[in-house]
Amino acid sequence: MRTSATNRASGLVLLVALLAVVAFLSVTQGSRSIDLTDVLRALGNLGDDGTITSTVTLELRVPRTLVGILAGAALGVAGAILQGVTRNPLADAGIMGINSGAAACVVFAITVLGIQGVSYYVWFAFGGAIIATFLVYTIASMGREGATPVKLALAGAAVTAGLTSVTSAIVMTNIDALNELRFWQVGSLAGRYTPILVGVAPFILLGLVASLGLGRVLNGLALGEDTARGLGQRVGLTRAAAFGVVAILAGAATAACGPIVFIGLVVPHLARFICGPDYRWILPYSMLLAPIVLLLADVLGRIAGAPGELQVGVVLAVLCAPVFVGIVRYARLVEA
Amino acid sequence: MENPHMQTWRSVLAVATLGAVLAGCGSNDAPADETAAASGPWSFTSGNGDVVKADKTPSRIIAHAGEAAALISFGIKPVGIYADEPVKTDLNLKDLDLTGITILGEEWGKIDVEKAASLAPDLIVGDWWPAEKAYSGLEEGVDEKSKKLAELAPIVGVSQGESIVDLAEGYEALATSLGAKVDDPQIAANKKRFETAVTAFKAATAAKPNLTAAGMSPTDEKVYVANPKYAPELLDFQRWGLKVLDPAAPDKDFPYWETLSWENADKYQPDLILWDGRAYKDTLNAEFGKKQPTWFEIKAAKAGAVTAWPAYWLHTYGDFATELEKLTTAINGADENIGN
């Protein structure tokens, strides 16, 4: 045990405080400079009084911040669960086909149904993510031994490749779809207002609550399936439940923001580094660390890009790529 | 990392370079006068200032979509066309009879250079974009393979420079140099209609000396404000009395626009919004007002003072006349006290 339970609990409290600070930054900082007093007044009145400062604060920044918190938490937890259930330190929602499924469905919406606009993509992306995850899980479950980590990774790669090629085939012949998709695919919190927030919040909250019950069984799975079985766990059921939660969390987050990379991959490692290998702690740590990283990246993008903005997906890629390299090197050291 | 500003603009450009030149080309797609075209030597001063010379007048031409349509309107039929989208939907090409013309590309940035080489072209025609210092189809961001098109034959084009009039005159001059007869009565009629339209436009702007306008293109992620310096038709409008505002800080890497985040959407307050015509629909203003909380912070947007702007696609007098007539109506109905 690296740290005592008390230490870990106070760590969580610290992270909650940190998240509050970052959320405050996200509401007060942006490409438009607004006096702190104006922001506070808008927050205090809690109604749009028609001034631009109040509109920007309440209708742009607050929903955007809340979407960032929810999507970040969802991606962090989904990544942690996947890394646990597949015993693959490089797993994230992408390997489950979630991004490719969402992208395929968004392209379908653009080309076949003629729909355009972020707020309309939400449900298609969500549906696509769920379908892709279901497909991956079903394919991996075939055979006597069920959905083993290796089969899951293979099925995920196969479904991703299949869906990506279909998506490419469509967008190569349709430049409008290509451009729409290119924007969506970077991942962004811009333009995510109240309707999107209200749409995805119930799913993410449900998924987050459910995820907290998975810590103990993930610990069992981490010891290997036979050991877990020996400890009396129903491995197949656990895995199915874990995948259900991941599909809802990552699907909803991807629907809201587009495919945001690295968060689900990097944050669980950070969490593990801080609190050790116990999933009962890794899950809540990931749940708090991920939105901190996501919001921080978003605020940076807004300040660095002013008077325009940098998309959070771009900022994250720049920030997290070196961390990812570090993880790869660290993992190799452990193996050696 | 791809530049998202550029990519957005590209999607717009894809439609832009359609250069609709439909007026008067329905019936006169007769082949060029071969006897005249066979003579030489030939030379043409291209948009970048280079004088391009040939021993004999080129007759096997590969042209970009809108430029091809312009040439066809003067009776010069290219052997190959490269477009930025399927020719069936390309605004310039969809109503033209393209039989006998090889289609070399139907997507921005992708040209089948091998097929182009098999046509043995002796001239490539595409607009010159001064802001990018490149011809249509050879700009930064296209497939590297596409750029080899320039190795097949000399390339010429008229500059997207100071005025649409220059573009219209330029393609007429190019067509003439290639042996076209430009005495079709339809061509003269379009020129006349254009002159009348300019007079009416000038009268409308003179009646509203305080009216300000801005070229804008809102998207889900950002708001783009056009920089007239690189939009010949906006320069024309300014010249004819419409105060099209110049954005204070055009993007450095792609100076066609100043990009604003939605938080800063209200940075400019014109009396009339000139909405990028390649994306314009009558219902869009209300839609953006509904989905973007700050769009109606622009007073003109809230008041519904929006009209389509023929962004980057005009090549001929006929199209320009039609668009000017619509703008004149919008200006006559505009309120010069909406913005700041």
Domains of chain B: which residue ranges?
Answer: 4-181, 187-332
Distance (Å) of CA A293 to CA A184, A257, B209: 20, 15, 52
Q: Do A317 and B2 touch (CB under 8 A)?
A: no
Residue closest to B96 by CA, chosen among B122, B65, B120: B65
Contact A252/A273 with Cβ under 8 angstroms?
A: no
Q: Return the pLDDT at B19.
A: 33
Min Cα separation B38/chain A (Å): 38
Query: What's A78's domain CATH number?
Result: 1.10.3470.10
Is pLDDT at A72 greater than 80 in this prediction? yes
Interacting residues of A213 by C-beta distance below 8 A, sequence separation 6+: none
Which residue out of B1, B103, B143, B220 would a mutagenesis test of the A interface target, given it has the greatest number of A Cβ atoms within 10 Å?
A: B220
Region A27-46 average pLDDT: 85
Q: Return the pLDDT at B34.
A: 41
Name the residue of chain B whose CA is nearest to A305's CA.
B261
Residue closest to A192 by CA, chosen among A294, A51, A265: A294
Q: Was domain B4-181 assigned CATH 3.50.50.60?
A: no
How many contacts does A have with B, using Cβ atoms within 8 A? Answer: 92
Q: Return the pLDDT at A175.
A: 67
Q: Return the pLDDT at B38.
A: 54
Q: Do A55 and B14 touch (CB under 8 A)?
A: no
Q: Which of A85-99, A231-245, B110-124, B149-163 has the lowest mean pLDDT?
A: A85-99
State how many domains chain A has.
1
Name the residue of chain B whose CA is nearest to A61's CA.
B263
Q: Return the pLDDT at A79.
A: 93
Min Cα separation A217/chain B (Å): 40
- Residue of A30, A118, A175 lying closest to B220 (CB–CB): A118
Q: Do A60 and B260 touch (CB under 8 A)?
A: no
Same fold, B4-181 and B187-332: yes
**Cβ neighbours of B2 (radius 10 Å):** 11
B134-179: per-residue pLDDT in tens?
Answer: 999 999 888 889 999 999 999 999 999 999 999 999 999 999 999 9
Name the residue of chain A whose CA is nearest to B90's CA.
A175
Distance (Å) of CA A251 to CA A74, A198, A202, A222, A304: 9, 15, 13, 24, 29
Peptide bond into B250 cis (omega under 30): no
Region A308-327 average pLDDT: 83
Interacting residues of B287 by C-beta distance below 8 A, sequence separation 6+: none
State the architecture of B187-332 in CATH terms: 3-Layer(aba) Sandwich (3.40)
Q: Do A183 and B7 touch (CB under 8 A)?
A: yes
Higher pLDDT, A301 or B271: B271
Q: Return the pLDDT at A332.
A: 53
Percent of chain A with pLDDT over 90: 29
B102-122: per-residue pLDDT in tens?
Answer: 999 988 888 999 999 999 999
Sort out which chain B residues have CB atoms less than 8 A from A306's CB and list them.
Answer: 261
Name the residue of chain B whose CA is nearest to A309's CA.
B261
> Which residue numbers in chain B have pLDDT < 70?
1-38
A117-139: per-residue pLDDT in tens?
Answer: 777 788 888 899 899 988 998 99
Structure tokens at A158: 């196969």
Q: Return the pLDDT at B52.
A: 94
Contact B133/B140 with Cβ under 8 angstroms?
A: no
Is pLDDT at A220 greater than 70 in this prediction? yes
* Edge-to-edge strands, sheet with B102-106: B102-106, B80-83, B61-64, B123-125, B155-156
Q: Return the pLDDT at B172.
A: 94
Q: Return the pLDDT at B23.
A: 33
Query: Regarding beta strands B102-106 and B80-83, do their DSSP bridges make them parallel or antiparallel, or are they unpaired?
Result: parallel
Interacting residues of B157 by C-beta distance below 8 A, sequence separation 6+: B46, B47, B64, B67, B125, B126, B127, B128, B135, B136
Sort out which chain A residues have CB atoms less than 8 A from B294's CB and list them.
Answer: 52, 55-56, 59-60
Q: Do B107 and A317 touch (CB under 8 A)?
A: no
Contact A282/A214 with Cβ under 8 angstroms?
A: no
Residues of the domain holding A255: 5-335
d(CA A60, CA B262): 8
Is pLDDT at A334 greater than 90 in this prediction? no
